Structure 1
Amino acid sequence: MTFRYRIAGGAAEVSAAQSALAAWMEAAGASLHSVTRAEVVLEELALNAQRHGGALEVLVEASIAVGLCTLVLEDAGRPFDPTVGVLPLPAASLGAARIGGLGLALVRRNAAALRYTRTGMGRNRVEVDLPLC
């Protein structure tokens, strides 16, 4: 059983994709915690592809097997590997915290595995294994 969705718009379309993914995961018996985790990762990666990578569309696939939900996102935006790069250090206090810039940390923290490839067709492909609990 595989989930497929084409995001061809901004934040509203990403939200629709999240809702569709949530319904699909719930029908497959995933817990609310697992669904929420997948929604957060989908939102972060899809919006980054659009806002920072210039992607006009993001193709999303998901599958569930052996305790994992694997999300695959593909886009033709600028190359960006979310598996590399230094993440910001946590703020010393809430008052010192800055807004934004923590999305990739959320993706990495929630993922059991995170893989990136730039395909021969000039597409970014991000695969995220999310534990089901």
Structure 2
Amino acid sequence: MLVGHGRVGSVVAYALSQAEIPYVVIEQDRALVERLREEGVHAIFGDATRALVREQAHCATARLLIVTTPDPFQARHIIKKARELRADLPTIVRTHSEQERRFLKAQDVGRVVMGEQEMAYGIAHYALMQMGRSDDEADERIAELRALE
């Protein structure tokens, strides 16, 4: 279940599609939902904090919840409501601040992705490779940084 199909969610959706992994999109932009449906994507118009919308997305049987909405309060509410239905639901959530990342980690959200941090990892990885390190070695350095989170 993918909540949001904007700049971040659309990239995630593309990756899932390319890997032939089925997914459901919940999106609040009606025109975008209609376009996605025309493209054959299972898309639901509405607010993922609403029970009926989560029911239409089959949240109870979802294998993963991906929250890409930029609004931290909405993201918190979506996760809370989904976990009331399925406490064991693996979750990935987007955030923009270190404070929110710490809060979500304390709530035992599976993976919290902070855009600026991921950008820094990407830049560091590329810099290491440009300075003669192998892709594997750059991966190891980034893994070390991630372990410090």
The TM-score, its normalising length taken from structure 2, stands at 0.23
Higher strand share: 1
Structure in which a larger fraction of residues adopt helix? 2
Q: What TM-score, normalized by structure 1, do the two folds share?
A: 0.25
Higher relative contact order (CA 8 A, sep 6+): 1
